A and B are shown apart, each in its own frame.
Chain A
Amino acid sequence: DARVTQTPRDKVTEMGQEVTMRCQPILGHNTVFWYRQTMMQGLELLAYFRNRAPLDDSGMPKDRFSAEMPDATLATLKIQPSEPRDSAVYFCASGLEAGGPPGELFFGEGSRLTVL
């Protein structure tokens, strides 16, 4: 069945290392959102794309985070260099927007990142 796939599921790394998280949206979906789960803010919006074009990445620390969609089947979130405060669960979600408001988002299972 169609689902959003995220890799890796779990990543433990050391401070200063580069981390890349990948997301395969549901085939045919044209929006992709990246969220970070935090204790205080719940799901914090980091970046989102429509038809592969970045619309807003103001939620990301620009100096170390970057988000891209090399093609319609892959979205990436990169942290370089990683810091302990980046430890969190990162969720990718995709949806189909047909000219109206955002429809239902389908979430991946998340990538749990631990930066030591």
Chain B
Amino acid sequence: ILNVEQSPQSLHVQEGDSTNFTCSFPSSNFYALHWYRWETAKSPEALFVMTLNGDEKKKGRISATLNTKEGYSYLYIKGSQPEDSATYLCAFSGNNNDMRFGAGTRLTVKP
């Protein structure tokens, strides 16, 4: 069983703070790393998919980096807003094209 680990488990920040979370994954048989955003009472929605070591992706105030050699990815949120409050999931895809999720980081942004 492949372990995808995310930290921290939860995070509380003030509006305007910048924050980041970590996803660690097996560095062998790597194919892709995905980030999803999951708001309460909704379904997960894709943010990024990254495949190459050194990849950086950005969408508005949210960005992500990838290090496949050491098996980690960071998700950054600049100037957090209350609407950023959600659980952020990362998922690992191996050579068999599966998609296995970590337990997520629950972010709460206080006004």
Contact = CB atoms under 8 A, between A and B. Distances in A.
Contacts of B46: 104-105
A102 B32 contact: yes
B interface secondary structure, majority: strand
A42 B98 contact: no
Interface residues of A, number: 26
A111 B89 CA distance: 20
A97 B32 CA distance: 13
Contact of A109 (B43, B89, B98): B43
A101 B104 contact: no
Contact of A48 (B45, B51, B98): B98
Given A43-B44, A108-B43, A110-B43, A103 B49 contact: yes
A97 B45 CA distance: 17
A55 B103 contact: no
Interface stretch (A9-17, A33-41, A71-79): A33-41
Interface residues of B, number: 22
Contact of B89 (A43, A48, A104): A43
A39 B50 CA distance: 27
A105 B60 CA distance: 21
B43 A91 contact: yes
A42 B43 contact: no
Contact of B101 (A43, A56, A109, A110): A43
Given A40-B103, A55-B97, A55-B98, 5 more contacts: A45-B99, A45-B101, A56-B96, A101-B51, A107-B43
Closest 5 CB pairs of A and B: A101-B32, A107-B43, A42-B103, A104-B46, A43-B101
